[in-house]
Amino acid sequence: MKYLLDYHHHTNHSFDSTATMVDVCNTAVDKGIKEVCFTEHYSVNPVAPTYGHIVFKDYLKEIAECRALFNNQLIIKAGIELCEPHLLKDQYAASLAPLNLDFILGSIHNLNEQKLRIYLENHGEKVAYTNYFLEVLNMVRHADIDIIAHLDLLKRYAFPLYGHYVFEEYKDIVAAILETAIERNIGVEINTSGWRTTLNAPLPSIEILQLYRDLGGELLTIGSDSHAATTVGSHLEEAVLLAKSCGFKHVYKYEKRKPSPVIL
């Protein structure tokens, strides 16, 4: 793939990163990446860890500064990762309307206002996975998002306890998620962060990606989910090969929330 993109980054505008935008951009340039999108965590729910950290004025100002600094080297897009965006929809809409963002990721990090790790500990594998996927389905039915981030994220926390989940046990729910996403022009992300852990697998699994393609899904992005400059662009090549193996011909970039294909 000649035009490398990395569409999932967190910096010190997110609560869980100390990376700077300049360092992220420098690393991207060094690795031959042509386009990045910053996707800081954001929630309007006061009990969520991501609540109240980002200051949008400062965030967009720094993006503008990096665009000027890296003008001929790197395309930089402004995005956001929303936590449970199907909840408190009106508040999300009011907060985001003035921002004119390029890209919106939607993710489930909490169930019943409990972090996934805690919910898993309290309910066990089967209940946690079932309710997690049902919550993703609810998000895809109702949220205003472009891409589902790390669709099977729960496995990040479940794997050390239970190993890999059995895809067939949740295939019907996952199929409903993907069919609804396709109907609403919502895509799926290949999140490479799992390859950086003992999980040693992308999020979502190859089974989910293959099902998405078999159902006619096309909108696909790739993101490292970097929280440090050192992990910018990690495992992009593996993600490209995975996409090709599932039959995808393109990944997508976004501008003002409009997708454009990039040939793999």
Phi, psi of 42 (to 5 degrees): -155, 135
What stretches in the chain show pLDDT beneath 50?
none
Distances 248 to 42, 130, 251 between C-alpha atoms, Å = 30, 28, 8
Which pLDDT does position 224 carry in this prediction? 98
Which pLDDT does position 192 carry in this prediction? 98
Are residues 131 and 173 in contact, defined by beta-carbon separation less than 8 angstroms? no
Which pLDDT does position 1 carry in this prediction? 82
pLDDT in tens, 153-165: 999 999 999 999 9
Find out whether the peptide bond into 85 is cis, omega within 30 degrees of 0: no
Which pLDDT does position 90 carry in this prediction? 94
pLDDT in tens, 64-107: 999 999 999 999 999 999 999 999 999 999 999 999 999 999 99
Superfamily of domain 4-263: Metal-dependent hydrolases (3.20.20.140)
Instruction: Mention every residue, 6+ apart, whose C-beta is less than 8 A from residue 183.
Output: none
pTM over 0.75: yes
Domain residue limits, the chain:
4-263
Which pLDDT does position 243 carry in this prediction? 98
